[in-house]
Structure 1
Amino acid sequence: MNKKIVCTIEARMGSSRLPGKVLMSLAGEPALKRMIDRIKKSKYINEIIVATTINKKDNKIVDFCKSYKIKFYRGSENDVLRRILEAAKASRAKIVVVLTGDCPLIDFRHIDEAIEVFLEGKYNYISNALERSYPDGFDVQVLSLEVLEKIDKLANDPIERVHSTYYIYRHPEEFKIKNIKAKGKMYWPNLRVTLDEINDYKLINILFKNLLPKDPFFSAKKVVEFLLKNPKFLKINQKVRHKKTEEG
């Protein structure tokens, strides 16, 4: 029997640095819609579920999901690990692709590569961001439901609840881990294409406006190539400080 593969997307309106970012317009569509459209191109994902919170602010995300007929789950705002686990269980997932709503440029090709490595059966946690080699904003994690259940039982530090897989980062010896490393021009660990601050938004909006007309599902490689050809745009968000995990 095939194991159901579900993609969860952590999303909430209450971002400390850019409130409402997941619904900000990117070339005419909400960021979350852009992200979901890209994920839908995956060969392997059976279902996408937006994991949002019970906070009233996130009614807007629920309304968005209803209007676009996207599944959603509402859980704890601060216990993200439990929220993701419950969303995965609600979807009857066996394999979970964990994504965050601040990655609207996510590349389904990276997702499928990670899933393929997972399906080989040698590992129970796959990531392309355990050691940063790809630009920040293309982060993919794939793990089994059993691993999610395990870390839910073991993670006691509040920071391990806020960041759903942080327990794995701290205790890699307890898991069969594979980190997928970027190759060639994709190796650009200092590049930011994640949506955290207004200047990140300005850059990402430019990327969508320039790349969408040529290919609605443009690759991460095309993003990198565009920025290599147009380095002036790199200045837009180069001063944005990377948020440390311990800051929540």
Structure 2
Amino acid sequence: MTNVGIISQARMTSTRLPGKVLHLAAGRPLLDYHVERLAWSKLPLYLAITANTPDDALAAYAETHRLPYTRGSEDDVLARFQQCAQEHDLDVIVRVTSDCPLLDGKLMGEAVQEYLAAKNPRLYLSNVLERTYPRGFDFEVFSRELLEEAHAHAVLPADREHVTPYLHQNRSGRVEFRHVRRAEDRSAYRLTVDTPDDFTLIKTLIENYGAAKLSGDELIQLLDAHPELVALNAHIEQKKI
């Protein structure tokens, strides 16, 4: 049987908004919403955190919530993912980042079923290469085989820090691709948390609009109806790889 798991990378030392995943919205840490919405996928979740002292808080969170976790290198996140997949014997990995508190676990679960139906360990499936979903809904699905290959051969610092460039740039020449797209492009919307303005939007959506219970499509409809909310962080530029 194929062992599928979500690995979410997290750390407390973000440069633009330190400790962001434990910032509070409606009295709860953002990580709560991330974990709860990932549960919609019906897939097990593993946290990949760093071995640094500041991440003791994330280890404590994981233990309190009975979440399995792995501690590894801060800079070599690819090695951290490989270590986590190895420790938990995963055959297929769904990669997400913990600064996305409003991602859509149901969409992710459907994408994993599509991936498994393909029965192709050389397949990389995601909604990030041909982006039509808001930033903050990001996920990537790939096999342990591809992860081990990237870990063995990726040498550029950006490859190690960002986990999947070796795969999605097809350095081996043997990766196949499939893209999850929505009919109407809403890639300009930003529902990730990297800056104080990002946090203001997420906090407002959760506290004033019940966003934590809304599906991905309902969140997009909400932003369509409220351009003043979109404007709160529309000026933020995503960090480049």
TM-score (norm 1): 0.91
2: distance between equivalents of 1:93 and 1:75? 17
Q: Which runs of 4+ in 1 moved over 4 A?
A: none
Task: Using the TM superposition, give the Cα deviation of residue 156 of structure 1 relative to its aligned residue in structure 2, in angstroms.
Answer: 0.7
2: distance between equivalents of 1:26 and 1:178? 35
Instruction: Determine the structure 1 residue equivalent to 2:17.
Output: 18
Instruction: Determine the structure 1 residue equivalent to 2:220.
Output: 224
Is 1:200 paired with 2:181? no
Alignment-mate amino acid for residue 131 of structure 1: E
2: distance between equivalents of 1:218 and 1:226? 9
Contact 1:104 1:194 in 2 (8 A): yes
SS of the residue aligned with 1:84?
helix
CA distances 1:107-144 after superposition (whole Å, capped 9, x unpaired): 01221122012111254211001122111110011111
Contact 1:110 1:140 in 2 (8 A): no
Instruction: Determine the structure 1 residue equivalent to 2:177.
Output: 177
SS of the residue aligned with 1:132?
coil
Contact 1:42 1:111 in 2 (8 A): yes
Task: Extract unaligned runs of 5+ from structure 1.
Answer: none
2: distance between equivalents of 1:149 and 1:63? 29
CA distances 1:2-60 after superposition (whole Å, capped 9, x unpaired): 211111000000101110001111222111111011111213x1x21110001111111
2: distance between equivalents of 1:200 and 1:63? 25
Is 1:148 paired with 2:147? yes
Instruction: Determine the structure 2 residue equivalent to 1:74.
Output: 71
Alignment-mate amino acid for residue 176 of structure 1: E
Alignment-mate amino acid for residue 99 of structure 1: V
Inter-CA distance 116–211: structure 2 relative to 1 (3 Å threshold): farther
Task: Using the TM superposition, give the Cα deviation of residue 162 of structure 1 relative to its aligned residue in structure 2, in angstroms.
Answer: 0.2
SS of the residue aligned with 1:66?
helix
Is 1:29 paired with 2:28? yes
Percent identity for Structure 1 against Structure 2: 33
| Backbone CA RMSD of aligned residues | 1.4
Task: Using the TM superposition, give the Cα deviation of residue 68 of structure 1 relative to its aligned residue in structure 2, in angstroms.
Answer: 1.4
Alignment-mate amino acid for residue 81 of structure 1: L
Instruction: Determine the structure 2 residue equivalent to 1:241.
Output: 237
Instruction: Determine the structure 2 residue equivalent to 1:7.
Output: 6
Matches within 5 A, 1:67-106: 67-106=64-103
TM-score (norm 2): 0.94
2: distance between equivalents of 1:151 and 1:218? 36
